[in-house]
Amino acid sequence: MALRSNFEPGTSPWATRRAQWRALGLSDDDMTKPKIAIVNSSSQLAICYSHLDAIAARAKEAIARAGGIGFEVRTTAPSDFIHSAGHRGGYILSARDLIVNDIEVSVEGPLLDGMICLASCDKTTPAQLMAAGRLNIPTIIVACGYQPCGEFRGKHCDIEDVFLAAGHHAQGRIDLPELTEMADTAVRGPGVCAGMGTANSMHIAAEALGMALPGSTPVAANSPKMWDAVEQAGRRVVAMVEEDLKPRDILTPESFRNAAMVVLSVSGSINTVKHLQAVAAESEVDVDVYGLYERCADDVPLLAAVRPNGTHSIEQFEAAGGALGIMSRLRDLLGTDARTLTGRTLGENLAGAEVSDDEVIRPLDRPYGRRPSIVLIRGSLAPETGIVKLAVDDDRPLSFTGPAIVYDSPLDALDGLKRGEVEPGQVLVLRGLGPKGSPGMGMASRPVFALDGAGLTGQVAVVTDGQLSGLVNKGIVVGEVSPEAADGGPLALVADGDVISIDVLARRVDLEVPEDVLTDRRSRLDRPGSTERGWLSIYQRTVRPLQQGAVLTGREEQI
């Protein structure tokens, strides 16, 4: 087998590599085998990554049994709840693109032949898919599972409950001992957040794209099913190298459309939109993912209602059939000719797929609803896009008009809430949190949850260029407004008292200020220079807009 990792004997690269690898214990036979990167984002900083080292070891054994040789390589391991503390949360989204470059250096530098990527918390899955598309070598995404949750006073309690409760504590609705007790019981083991948030949504999207093994998502961390997927992945990736089956054979406009429809059908995370767009950009696939979500939204019914968007648990969803089950329900809507990493089409993978619980994963003729849960909106305040997440059973009014109250950071907004500045009927504008503004895209959910804690959900709307929790939002919240304020978007021009109107059903968000007033404000707009250093400075200078996936520009675009 001709492998790019095998060099001509006697050459300098062959000799020096041999010296290094023989010292690591590799045999002459090992030198000629398919060389597979095991991409591991292990970290002791966050529970979502704490089990990956054991998975990497098992993957290496499985690769060896299949006739390959595995090399574990490491990347950064961002956790939203841990790494958002510094620089206004700027290290979260920006870490996604840092992981892509970590993988490029560790895999493309030594010219390895394939990859198994251990997917865990929110940014690892899109980053690994982006790297797969960029490097275009045989790759399998292995979902490493969701965490077991606890109970608080007899009721289910998970990390998102703690996040929301912290907003209530900030407004004096619950006391510190109660919040402490919740935090101490919410997480009972390793894995990602146990709801239909960004991590589980992206794991499912990877399977819908054809880049994860059929039936492998979602999965409980350290369960027999997860370990079986690791074993299968070890065998399959070596076969993919032999077959020369690459990501760009799989990542096509049809597969991206499938992924968008599956996410819509499960009321998945809004963050999947920008992540899938980024995967398309790195894979050089000409597809408008934002447009896919808009066009598919009215055609795809809601077939699952997983916490916190509904009443069922992720465990129930997995048991009912998971991603394979939901795709079997959507079979008539999906592009079943799309190729997958099995070497077979999606339709062939779905043969025999079943749903074991018609209430957890409903049939097409009995959905939870037909109103989309991910709504892309535009208007004079969001000329390119904004995004709204709706819960499955959300029956609140979907229009709002009121005067703006403007804050330039989440902390300022929280202080304003404490001072009583935010009143019913207002639209809270939170700006400067976009990819360039933070830089790195700051999290706007804390003020949203604090509004809920203050009893203002439904009475105050929110418009922001920041990102929101992938699990749930409260009230009418328009997130990821683009162009962002730091790019001179209309959000930068909003002043206290300006009237903002939001109509989710009409998919509009508008700033009702005369154009001549906005022109005058734009002429006086002050754009302070960046004070960032290090990685965030690089990210700020090179990040593209959200509609291009917020990926980093190439060299030719900077000249």
Active site amino acids:
469
**Which DSSP category does 113 fall into?**
S
State the CB neighbour count (10 A cutoff) for residue 36.
34
Q: Are 445 and 414 in contact (CB under 8 A)?
A: no
Report in angstroms the alpha-carbon separations of 443 from 85, 373, 433, 491, 503: 10, 20, 7, 17, 23
Helix and strand element counts for the chain (H, E): 22, 14
d(CA 493, CA 487): 11
Phi, psi of 524, rounded to the nearest 5 degrees? -105, 10
Q: Are 551 and 276 in contact (CB under 8 A)?
A: no
Q: What is the CA radius of gyration of the chain?
A: 24
**Which DSSP category does 546 fall into?**
G
Q: E strand or H helix at 73, and its extent?
A: strand 69-74
Which string of DSSP letters, residue by residue, matches 403-467? EEEEESSHHHHHHHHHTT---TT-EEEE-S-STTTTTS--B-HHHHHHHHHTT-BTTBEEEESSB
- Geometric angle at alpha carbon 309, from 119 and 330, rounded to 5°: 70
**Of 305, 302, 280, nearest to 291 (Cα)?**
280
